[in-house]
Amino acid sequence: MPKIEAATVAEHRAMKARQVIDAAVDLLVGEGPSAVTPAAVAERSGLARTSVYQYAGSAAELVAAAVEALFVRATNDLSEAVAAAGSDPGDRIAAIVRAVLAGAKSGHSPNHAIEVEQLPPAQRERLGQLHGALMAPLVEAIADFGADDPRTTAALAWGAINGIVPMVEGGMPIEQAAARAVAFVSAGVGRTPVVRS
């Protein structure tokens, strides 16, 4: 029986799964989706390729797992930023913009160029759910401004925020980019904030 490196078999398996996903994330962020293969993940994680297949059956599943991990990290970062911003919807929108741009600057954004349509249906559905969770704080903040259709407005705002990402990646300071994106989104909302009780 192989030696386990944790207190229990379940903890050992969870640790190895994290190694696989962390390696897949590193490859996705550093080299792109085509670099995320079972062989490359095995080499990066220090595991045998057969071990990698215990956690993901294909390169597509590894890419999906890496993107899911990035979505979870980004959602957690947004949640923390929004909680720190307080109840003012304008402050929350600014915090969201800064968090998204900081994630993009560090290369840890889930918005990588992946062929989503090539993923299995269950993984596409899961990524759709994760995208909805990621956008939820922006939808709520825009709703607090009294927008008639907060989901549509948030989708447009999300496009504007992601539209400035290449400028940040090209060297524009995050605070400058965030100020411009927040001004654009605020103008698009154009409403007096309604703070929820």
Q: CATH number for the domain including 36?
A: 1.10.10
Residues 169, 34, 129, 140, Cα dihedral to 10°: 0
62 falls within a domain? no
- How far apart are alpha carbons 4 and 8 in whole angstroms? 8
Together in a domain, 186 and 103: yes
Together in a domain, 35 and 76: no
Together in a domain, 71 and 44: no
| Burial of 190 per CB tally in 10 Å (0-12, 13-18, 19+) | exposed
Beta strands in the chain (DSSP E): none
Q: Answer yes or no: are the C-beta atoms of 161 and 100 closer than 8 Å.
A: yes
Q: How many domains does the chain have?
A: 2
Q: Answer yes or no: are the C-beta atoms of 152 and 136 closer than 8 Å.
A: no
Quickly tell me which residue has 């090539």 as its tokens. Answer: 118
Mean pLDDT of 6-11: 74
* Residues 136-157: tens digit of each pLDDT: 999 999 998 888 889 999 999 9
Together in a domain, 172 and 114: yes
Q: Answer yes or no: are the C-beta atoms of 16 and 4 closer than 8 Å.
A: no
Q: Answer yes or no: are the C-beta atoms of 142 and 91 closer than 8 Å.
A: no
Together in a domain, 126 and 87: yes
Return the pLDDT at 19: 92
Tell me the CATH number at 154.
1.10.357.10
Among candidate residues 57, 77, 105, the one where a domain is terminated = 57
* Residues 172-184: tens digit of each pLDDT: 998 899 888 888 8
Return the pLDDT at 124: 82
Q: Looking at the whole model, is its pTM more than 0.75?
A: yes
Together in a domain, 1 and 46: yes
- How far apart are alpha carbons 7 and 66 in whole angstroms? 26
Together in a domain, 17 and 72: no
Together in a domain, 155 and 183: yes
Q: Domain range holding 100?
A: 67-197
